[in-house]
């Protein structure tokens, strides 16, 4: 197996305008970081094949020096409380849903979870009280899988039940590793045989769903659809002027992704269980399941029933940033559209939203995406969604990848043995044998050590690096937007200073205004 290609632009730079294509210095910085990552990986000995002989080998290869958060992960990855916390503030913090009733394919019984819930309560009582939550990985079921180094790889589609304890901790209480209950699909519980292995399978599924759907589809691919449609608008159109900074470099990074990640034999094939074929199939499934509401933060929080979980830092920060963007956009829209009918009668605007509906969500009315905009509130919401997805949402699902995956057992990109069909076979030896090979581990770490960090000159949200909205009125709105973002930043920094595990990814000072890496 060859080493993965570095995240550099092969051959000539793409034929894009200077506002869309990486400048030479930016490309050189990414190339240098990719080269350094390859050297570090080789020095760790992760380019050899085979498997791990012990957890001591894993520690020797992967432990430190890392980031403060990655070091925290090394120390706490086996703890149930940290496992649960990652659903709230890890790199895929938008999956968890309140569970008012168990799905029929997840037959958890009261005696199974009674030891976890403790005396004085029951499974039904906790569900009625809104304290049970579900993580469902059904989109992964039956995906094609690849092989790495000549060895077949495996994927599961788990169901994971979590409980919000009286101490405010989100704890896993039951895991089933398939969508089909039965003798060959046991339900694992804390303290029981195979619990650590069951959690490993959930973390592997979490990674695959995060990378293909939450990250690649919801951020990169949708942003590309927004960018193509916006580039077709006349440069003088207010929507083009408003959105242009949030499209910077998105075409270029997506071109690089297709050339070095999603190409046959590329990093996706070398580092993940489903490879290129399975990733594209998963993106297609994610596209069919996509909804407009899940991309609009207030709607998403309401629909998933997660508005009152304590310590949900992504939710708190995302709602604040969404509100700041919405207020700014509302002011800009009011400058150019005096009444609702002005929106409805703007033919260029209607063609723009229609193109996004047709090509971004393939004309699927079930998504809830608008195919036309009838008034100012609809336009404000749609523009807020685009700016949020192209800035804060991408930061939330991208910036922490190395932090949480540098210690591979916490976030495996692939697994080498099939899921256990019985609890008896779920031994500690099987857990070690199931881990990704050193080769696959090295390929993934080389990638994440590059893409988790912004290259070139920082362009944080609110900087308006290509601002075409000139004049005193837009300037006042922008000043107010920046002041609000600065206040959010101060709140986040004050909170993080008191946390053992900070959540820095939605600090506006660190959120880039576009998807540029």
Which tens digits make up the pLDDT trace of 409-428?
Answer: 999 999 999 999 999 999 99
**Mean pLDDT confidence for 217-229:** 98
Which tens digits make up the pLDDT trace of 105-156?
Answer: 999 999 999 999 999 999 999 999 999 999 999 999 999 999 999 999 999 9
State the pLDDT at residue 61.
83
SS3 63: coil
State the pLDDT at residue 473.
96
Domains and CATH numbers, the chain: 24-94+212-414+440-497 (1.20.245.10)
**Mean pLDDT confidence for 76-102:** 97
State the pLDDT at residue 43.
47
**Mean pLDDT confidence for 467-495:** 95
For the entire predicted model, the pTM comes to 0.92
Three-state SS string over 280-295 comes to HHHHHHHHHHCCCHHH
State the pLDDT at residue 46.
66
SS3 13: coil
Q: Is the pLDDT of residue 248 over 60?
A: yes
What are the beta bridge partners of residue 188? 175
Three-state SS string over 488-499 comes to HHHHHHHHHHCC
Q: Is the pLDDT of residue 204 over 70?
A: yes
Contact 426, 194 (CB under 8 A): yes
Q: Is the pLDDT of residue 9 over 80?
A: no
SS3 73: helix
Measured in Å, how far apart are the chain's first and last C-alpha atoms?
A: 26
């Amino acid at each position: 197996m060859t080493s993965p290609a570095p995240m550099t632009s092969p051959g000539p730079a793409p034929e894009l305008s200077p506002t869309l294509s990486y400048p030479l210095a930016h490309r050189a910085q990414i190339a240098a970081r990719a080269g350094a990552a390859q050297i570090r990986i080789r020095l760790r000995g992760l380019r050899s094949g085979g498997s791990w002989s012990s957890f001591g080998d894993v520690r020797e290869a992967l432990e430190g020096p890392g980031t403060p958060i990655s070091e925290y992960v090394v120390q706490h990855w086996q703890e149930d409380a940290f496992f649960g916390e990652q659903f709230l503030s890890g790199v895929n913090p938008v999956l968890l849903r309140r569970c008012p009733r168990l799905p029929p394919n997840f037959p958890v019984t009261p005696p199974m979870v009674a030891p976890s819930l403790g005396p004085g309560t029951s499974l039904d009582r906790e569900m009625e009280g809104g304290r049970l939550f579900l993580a469902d990985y059904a989109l992964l079921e039956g995906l094609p899988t690849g092989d790495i180094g000549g060895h077949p790889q495996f994927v599961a589609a788990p169901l994971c039940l979590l409980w919000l304890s009286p101490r405010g901790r989100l704890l896993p209480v039951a895991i089933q590793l398939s969508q089909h209950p039965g003798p060959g699909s046991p339900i694992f519980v804390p303290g029981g045989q195979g619990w650590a292995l069951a959690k490993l399978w959930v973390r592997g599924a979490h990674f695959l769903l995060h990378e293909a759907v939450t990250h690649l589809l919801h951020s990169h691919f949708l942003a590309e659809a927004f960018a193509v449609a916006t580039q077709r608008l006349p440069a003088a159109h207010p929507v083009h002027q408003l959105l242009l900074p949030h499209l910077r470099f998105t075409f270029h990074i997506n071109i690089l992704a297709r050339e070095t990640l999603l190409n046959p034999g590329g990093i996706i094939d070398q580092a993940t269980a489903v490879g290129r074929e399975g990733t594209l199939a998963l993106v297609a499934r994610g596209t069919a399941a996509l909804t407009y509401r899940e991309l609009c933060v207030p709607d998403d929080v309401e629909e998933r029933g997660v508005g009152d979980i304590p310590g949900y830092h992504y939710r708190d920060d995302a709602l604040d940033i969404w509100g700041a963007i919405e207020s700014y956009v509302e002011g800009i829209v009011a400058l150019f559209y005096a009444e609702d009918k002005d929106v409805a009668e703007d033919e260029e605007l209607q063609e723009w939203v229609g193109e996004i509906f047709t090509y971004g969500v393939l004309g699927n009315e079930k998504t809830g995406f608008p195919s036309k905009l009838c008034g100012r509130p609809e336009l404000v919401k749609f523009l807020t969604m685009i700016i949020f997805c192209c800035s804060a949402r991408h930061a939330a699902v991208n910036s922490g990848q190395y932090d949480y995956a540098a210690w591979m057992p916490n976030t495996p990109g692939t697994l080498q043995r099939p899921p256990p069909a019985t609890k008896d076979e779920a031994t500690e030896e099987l857990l070690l044998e199931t881990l990704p090979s050193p080769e696959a581990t090295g390929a993934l770490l080389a990638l994440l050590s590059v893409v988790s960090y912004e290259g070139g000159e920082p362009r944080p949200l609110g900087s308006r690096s290509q601002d075409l909205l000139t004049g005193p009125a837009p300037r006042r709105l922008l000043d107010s937007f920046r002041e609000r973002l600065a206040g959010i930043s101060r709140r986040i920094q004050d909170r993080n200073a008191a946390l053992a595990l900070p959540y820095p990814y939605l600090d506006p000072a660190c959120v880039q205004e576009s998807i540029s890496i």
